Amino acid sequence: MRFDEAVKLFARHLETERLRSRETVRAYLADLRDFRSHLEAHGGLEDVSGIDPLHVRGFLASRFGKIKKVTMGRKLAAVRTFFRFLRRERLVSSNPAEGIRAPKREKPAPRALSVDEMHRFFVRNPAMAKRDLAIFELLYSSGLRVGELTGLKIQDLDLKNGWVRVVGKGSKERYVPVGSKAIKAIEEYLPVRDLLLTQKRPWTDSEALFVNRRGGPLSSRTVRRILKAYLDAAGLTRDASPHTFRHSFATHLLVGGADLRSIQELLGHASLSTTQRYTRVDLGRLMEVYDRAHPRSGSIKKSS
């Protein structure tokens, strides 16, 4: 069957059987037209039964570097779905796109608040509850995931020596330093915690470090909700989350001169490649430093 005829059948299938919207059908057809253009430019192949994996790989290779990886993935998905339909209808014997993987999407650099923004967060919330202050000081001080924070037990703390025991992903245990401001905030919160525990219900976990008003363990969802209110009060971005504090912790350590291996240990990353994402966060500042300091950067004015 000719390519154009097969596309018409596929479009009808999307509209009548799968009940896809006009916009979705239009997007599929646009990607298939792009694929057809590639085929025409490389021999003018018309019969869909003659298309093989090399044609599909060549199509993706021809678009590499010209479009975003996410767009390449979408085009591959359109071709794969098209041939899946044709195979179901027994118009082709195999799906030439079935075993081809889409290019990996680049993960965006983690979002972090600047040092000034972090300072503003605490300064502009002077009436922050003692428990909440302890939570956010600890998140920023030690770079914990919000799930790690809500899972902390009172016995995990060693405030005298400035450490906290954390159980991260895969039940991996690590010990993380706690900064002086976080230690002070936790010390001021602990009497409040003791008071809340006197009102606890029988089924509550009395070992939890951070508890709610009824003495029960605090949830990650509650931490996110509380943070949003404080961010609004400080006039900071609304898309920040508890994980933003973790990103800020890592970024500020990197800018301060900490090496990636140390940051990896503190964050509990299994792979250094995960930690290396932070090297892109402050690239602009590093380039400014390079331009000012390196004798071969080309931006230093020559003395006359």
- Known catalytic membership, residue 243: yes
**Which domains are delineated in the chain?**
3-88 (1.10.150), 115-289 (1.10.443.10)
Alpha helices for 16-129 (secondary structure H): 22-41, 53-63, 69-88, 115-123
Please state, in angstroms and rounded to a whole number, the distance separating the CA atoms of residues 203 and 210.
Answer: 16
The single residue of 145, 193, 247, 252 carrying the catalytic annotation is 145
- Known catalytic membership, residue 247: no
The single residue of 13, 55, 193, 246 carrying the catalytic annotation is 246
The single residue of 74, 243, 277, 280 carrying the catalytic annotation is 243
- Known catalytic membership, residue 246: yes
The single residue of 38, 75, 193, 269 carrying the catalytic annotation is 269
Per-residue pLDDT tens digits for 81-104: 999 999 999 999 999 998 888 777
User: Mind listing the pLDDT tens digit of every residue in the chain (304 residues)?
Assistant: 899 999 999 999 998 888 888 888 899 999 999 999 999 888 767 788 889 999 999 999 998 888 888 898 999 999 999 999 999 999 999 999 988 887 776 666 667 898 999 999 999 999 999 999 999 999 999 999 999 999 999 999 999 999 999 998 888 899 999 999 999 999 999 999 998 888 766 555 579 999 998 888 899 999 999 999 999 999 997 678 999 999 999 888 888 888 888 888 899 988 877 777 766 655 455 456 556 665 555 554 444 4
pTM recorded for the entire structure: 0.61
Please state, in angstroms and rounded to a whole number, the distance separating the CA atoms of residues 224 and 149.
Answer: 12
At residue 302, the pLDDT reads 44
The single residue of 18, 169, 285, 294 carrying the catalytic annotation is 169
Number of Cβ atoms within 10 Å of the Cβ of 178: 20
DSSP string of 97-156? TTTPPPPPPPPPPPP---HHHHHHHHHT-TT--HHHHHHHHHHHHH---HHHHHT-BGGG
- Known catalytic membership, residue 55: no
- Known catalytic membership, residue 140: no
Per-residue pLDDT tens digits for 150-207: 999 999 999 999 999 999 888 889 999 999 999 999 999 999 999 888 876 655 557 9
- Known catalytic membership, residue 18: no
